[in-house]
Amino acid sequence: MIIIVDSDGFIGNLDPQDMHHSNTQKISTRLVKNGATLIYPATVIVETVTFLQGRLNSPELANQVIRLVNDGQLTIEPVDIEIIQKASLFMDFKKSKHNTLFDAVVAAIAQKYQADAIFSFDKFYKSKGFKLASEL
């Protein structure tokens, strides 16, 4: 089972104050039991650390993510020109300011791997035909 992790799923797992924390813990437990492979797009790492450090003012959690990366505990998918080009096909710049290129990169990587689901709570993915990890 292949799961692509988005920043909201990642942050929900890390931050006990996050509104999705309890739910992400339950989903994570199910994924581990099912032997899921979690893939983190490189852009999700950058987005997550930036959000934790800046908006949440939580340098400890931001540093925790960097430690996970440096310790090789995350499977990170690089983002190259091909992924960005495929991601651009998911974008509609006139339709929504909320759905970002970060989201489209996650979708492009999910498509590349024919992922079973995306670990996110963002309805954007469902609108593009992907399953969310909460549905597994």
Locate 76 and state its tokens: 């990170």
What's the domain count of the chain?
A: 1
pTM: 0.94
- For 113, the domain range is 2-135
Locate 108 and state its tokens: 């492009």
Per residue in 67-103, pLDDT tens? 999 999 999 999 999 999 999 999 987 776 677 999 9
Can you tell me the mean pLDDT for 58-66? 95
Q: Which of 11, 23, 105, 93 minimizes the C-alpha distance to 54?
A: 11
Does an H or E element contain 45, and which? helix 42-50
User: What CATH number is associated with residue 41?
Assistant: 3.40.50.1010
Locate 125 and state its tokens: 């993915």
First to last CA, the chain: 10
- Give the separation between CA 63 and CA 114, rounded to whole angstroms: 31
pLDDT of 66 > 70? The answer is yes
